[in-house]
A = this chain, B = another copy of it.
Amino acid sequence: MPRQHRPLPSRRNTTRAMRNLDEHTITAEVLGRIGTKTDPRLRDILQSAIRHLHELAREVNLTEAEWLAGVRFLTRTGQMSTDVRQEMVLLSDTLGLSQLVVAQSHRRPPAATEQTVLGPFHVEGAPVRISHGTMLGDRSPGSPLFVSARVTNGAGIPLEGAHVDVWQADGEGLYDVQKPEWELGRAQLRAVFCTDEQGRVSFRSVMPTHYAIPTDGTVGEMMRATHRSPMRPAHVHFRIVHPGFDPLVTHVFAADDPYLDTDCVFGVLSTCLGTFIRREPGAAPDGSVVNVPFHTLDYTFILHESL
């Protein structure tokens, strides 16, 4: 008897389900189509994506008109994306996906500087500049800012030769890539420095302000439709790379900014608050004399050894 069994009911159901799929039976059929030779990691991710996509559509009983609106929204988000206008990244940022992935990818000990989103305004290949004496943003609006940063390991030992990629908005809240005259060779408020033997870089730039993310695209439509604030608190971006350490991508936020608790990309971390000190006109940290009020920022980045 045990040897003479009929085909398993589940198998027969599967065979029948290849046609006349309904909103429930279709999910197993789609998952089952992924070939056995597929890279196992890709299969896991894709199967999870398919399950969640289908569950979303069933859960809200998505209509064809809503489906089409979603398809068009994603299509337009891709279409308006360029090397310097990364609308799909911005969508991920404003849906909290980017910071979620960052958080689960960089669990660090409390002493190490925390990771936050890269954001849509980073550009690979920014000009390499000499630290100590360089002025960024000579054509950018904003009051002067003198940044002095130190890079150390977890024991406070300075790290020489670390690459420090810096980018920031100007005093009107705009990045250089957002301006029509943008070209990489004429980058403003964007450079790569190298730390000296004391683990230091310093440079002059302009004081960034809080700003609205670009709202003239699909993300802007979403923010308006959901009555969300598009504001981000003032910050300077840093990406710091040194052999043997987990690359650090982070911001230094202005500790007194009014938008710290409503950052539209959910990226604010207490360990990434910097004190931008307002100074009266006079001698600046770089030895020059400045005849308008200016700000200074001193900040230490603590890298985390790679495993």
Q: Is the CB of B105 within 8 A of A33?
A: no
Check: A57 CB closer than 8 A to any chain B CB.
yes
Closest to A117 in B: B64
Q: A157 at the A/B interface (Cβ < 8 Å)?
A: no
Tell which of B29, B67, B97, B225 touches A38, judged by Cβ atoms closer than 8 Å.
Answer: B225
How long is the Cα–Cα vector from A58 to B157 in the complex, in angstroms? 35
Q: Is A183 an interface residue (CB 8 A)?
A: no
Q: Are A103 and B26 in contact (CB under 8 A)?
A: yes
Contact between B266 and A29, CB atoms less than 8 A apart? yes
CA of A262 to CA of B14, assembled, Å: 12
Which applies to chain A's interface (DSSP): helix, strand, loop or mixed? Answer: helix
Q: Is A99 an interface residue (CB 8 A)?
A: yes
Q: Mark A51-83, 1 if CB is under 8 A from B, else 0.
A: 011111111111110110001001111110100
Interface size class of A (residues with CB under 8 A): 35 or more
- A12-43 vs B, CB cutoff 8 Å, 1 = contact: the mask equals 00010011111100110110011111110011
Given contact pairs A77-B78, A78-B76, A104-B58, A30 touches B88 in the complex (Cβ within 8 A) = no
Does chain B have a CB within 8 A of A46?
yes
Q: Which B residues lie within 8 Å of A55 (CB)? A: 52
Q: Which residue in B50, B81, B228 is a CB contact (below 8 Å) of A75?
A: B81
Is the CB–CB distance between B268 and A19 below 8 Å? yes
Min CB distance A230 to B, Å, is 11
Min CB gap A276→B, angstroms: 18
- A96 with B18: CB separation less than 8 A: no
Minimum CB–CB distance for A282 against chain B, Å? 34
Interface pair B63/A44, CB less than 8 Å apart: no
The answer to the question of A206 belonging to the interface, with a C-beta cut-off of 8 Å to chain B, is: no
Quick check: is A49 within 8 A (CB to CB) of the other chain?
yes
Say whether A61 contacts B104, CB under 8 Å: yes
Near B by CB (< 8 A), chain A positions 81-136 give: 81, 86, 88-89, 92, 95-105
- Give a binary string over A168-190; 1 marks a CB under 8 Å from any B CB, 0 the rest: 00000000000000000000000
**Residue A270 is within 8 A (CB to CB) of chain B in the complex:** yes
By the criterion CB–CB under 8 Å, are B53 and A98 in contact? no
Contact A95 B30, beta carbon cutoff 8 Å: yes
By a CB distance below 8 angstroms, the chain B residues around A35 are 226-228
A95 pairs with B53, CB closer than 8 A: yes
Q: A225-B38, A226-B35 given as contacts; is B53 within 8 A of A103 (CB)?
A: no
Apart from the given pairs A21-B96, A46-B222, A57-B97, 6 other A-B contacts in the complex at a CB distance below 8 Å: A38-B227, A45-B66, A58-B100, A67-B97, A75-B88, A76-B78
Contacts from A to B (Cβ < 8 Å): 15, 18-23, 26-27, 29-30, 33-39, 42-46, 48-50, 52-64, 66-67, 71, 74-79, 81, 86, 88-89, 92, 95-105, 222, 225-228, 260-262, 264, 266, 268-270
